[in-house]
């Protein structure tokens, strides 16, 4: 396939060499005549393990060239990869001046091209950038997206120092496009790699680089704060984290990475507070760990705001315990939410078959007596009774009973979902999820 790459910096140079090595004919484009001369002399534009050999070998095979001429590169290729820089401003916003200047050039040149052209944005960009790029092309060319040209978001996940290895051994290949033809064409560039090709919506693909790298930063900071606590206690921090990483069921897994309501229960809040106290007692600053419960509290505040926006006053809660299949009310976010709403004067009804007031003892009873002392007046024995009295339903855990009734019973009032109910319920017009 004939491919053009715009931008011969880090990502562009690695992509140029690796695509050529895979048998494609690749032309690089850059405003820097120095970089163009380097590629045309068989030299890499960056210092990176193995890329210098690849560029030299593929240049000798006549698979690689470079130019400053946008027109030649676009008209002579069927796929263009945009890998220009998107530096941050002092305020943290991206400078997209370069990428939108590229879009204007594409628009002017595609005006004269009859063949369907695919533009792949490999640069790190904010959600919505591909759509604006396409808007600019349409304005300057008179062409129509997904008819004469198509946009694809294909973010890179290359680490400096191991970029060539990462290119050939990705965890996955991510493609975002609303053109099946374009998505399939770009996917064909990666079909030989030992990783799943994931095709998704454009904005999802555009956001993923930020999500990935923010999580990597979070992991480094978390590891360092644990290390600082261990140091104060004269504990081997690397041994602690080595054991931590052995748990692939919960610690290193998808289990807790599901957006939804606040965490609760008897363990997470108690042990988080215990670690915070331990750090404090040893004069160790842990701002990341200190902020975890603040984020949790904000999720409860978010739920309050969503309920207030409905303008309804009679609320029905399905689920009171902190998760399905338990009667544990300690630190249940549902209890905290109900306590807040009671204080604001809302009428509240609650149904939870696992919570039997007559059986509440010990810490469960103490917790409820402190937070909702008149709970017995709010509990309903039947879901039908609760739905009859309520103007809005808030679902707090994923009991099958709640799913069945909301799937099969007509309910015209709002449903607010904290646990991500099945698709059939999420498609209802009166439905809203807490963060989806």
Positions marked catalytic = 267
Please list, in sequence order, all residues whose beta carbon lies within 8 angstroms of the beta carbon of residue 158, skipping any fewer than 6 positions away.
Answer: 10, 11, 14, 166, 167
Contact 394, 316 (CB under 8 A): yes
In angstroms, the Cα distances linking 212 to 75, 206, 224, 344 are 35, 11, 19, 39
| Residues facing 94 on adjacent strands | 88
Structure tokens at 182: 């374009």
Rounded Cα distance between 396 and 335, Å, is 10
Structure tokens at 344: 């604001």
Find the Cα–Cα–Cα–Cα dihedral 90, 92, 94, 97, rounded to 10°. Answer: -20
Structure tokens at 228: 């600082």
Stretch (H or E) spanning 116: none
Please list, in sequence order, all residues whose beta carbon lies within 8 angstroms of the beta carbon of residue 155, skipping any fewer than 6 positions away.
Answer: 122, 124, 174, 205, 206, 208, 209
Sheet holding 64-67, edge to edge: 64-67, 25-29, 2-6, 79-82, 117-121, 149-153, 172-176, 196-200
In angstroms, the Cα distances linking 81 to 11, 65, 241, 364 are 10, 15, 40, 59
Please list, in sequence order, all residues whose beta carbon lies within 8 angstroms of the beta carbon of residue 384, skipping any fewer than 6 positions away.
Answer: none
| C-alpha dihedral sign at 336, 338, 339, 344 | positive
């Amino acid at each position: 396939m004939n491919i053009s790459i715009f931008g011969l910096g880090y990502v562009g140079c690695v992509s140029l060499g690796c695509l050529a090595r895979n048998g494609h004919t690749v032309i690089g484009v850059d405003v820097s005549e120095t970089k163009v001369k380097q590629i045309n002399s068989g030299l890499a534009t960056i210092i990176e393990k193995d890329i210098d050999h690849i560029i030299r070998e593929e240049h000798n095979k006549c698979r690689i060239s470079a130019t400053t001429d946008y027109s030649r590169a676009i008209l002579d290729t069927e796929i263009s990869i945009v890998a220009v820089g998107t530096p941050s401003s002092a305020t943290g916003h991206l400078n997209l001046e370069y990428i939108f200047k590229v879009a204007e050039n594409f628009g002017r040149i595609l005006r004269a091209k009859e063949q369907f052209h695919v533009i792949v944005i490999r640069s790190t960009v904010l959600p919505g950038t591909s759509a604006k790029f396409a808007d600019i092309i349409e304005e300057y060319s008179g062409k129509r997206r997904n008819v004469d040209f198509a946009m694809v978001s294909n973010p890179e996940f290359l680490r400096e120092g191991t970029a060539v290895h990462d290119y050939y051994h990705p965890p996955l290949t991510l493609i975002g496009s609303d053109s099946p033809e374009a998505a399939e064409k770009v996917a064909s560039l990666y079909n030989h790699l030992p990783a799943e090709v994931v095709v998704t919506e454009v904005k999802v693909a555009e956001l993923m680089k930020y999500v990935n790298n923010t999580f990597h930063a979070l992991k480094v900071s978390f590891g360092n704060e644990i290390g600082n606590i261990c140091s104060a206690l004269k504990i081997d921090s690397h041994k602690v984290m080595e054991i931590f990483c052995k748990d692939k069921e919960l610690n290193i897994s998808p289990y807790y990475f599901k957006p939804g309501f606040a965490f609760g229960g008897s363990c997470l809040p108690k042990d988080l507070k215990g670690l915070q106290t331990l750090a404090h007692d040893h004069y160790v600053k842990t701002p990341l760990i200190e902020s975890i419960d603040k984020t949790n509290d904000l999720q409860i505040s978010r739920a309050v705001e969503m309920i207030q926006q409905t303008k309804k006053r009679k609320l029905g809660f399905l689920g009171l315990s902190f998760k399905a299949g338990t009667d544990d009310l300690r630190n249940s976010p549902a209890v905290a939410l109900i306590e807040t709403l009671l204080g604001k004067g809302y009428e509240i009804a609650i149904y939870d078959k696992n919570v039997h007031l007559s059986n509440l003892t010990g810490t469960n009873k103490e917790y409820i007596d402190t937070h909702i002392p008149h709970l017995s007046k709010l509990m309903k024995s039947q879901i039908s009774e609760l739905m009859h009295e309520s103007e809005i339903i808030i679902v707090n855990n994923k009991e099958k009973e709640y799913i069945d009734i909301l799937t099969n019973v007509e309910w015209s009032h709002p449903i607010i979902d904290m646990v991500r109910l099945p698709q059939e319920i999420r498609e209802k017009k009166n439905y809203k999820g807490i963060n989806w």
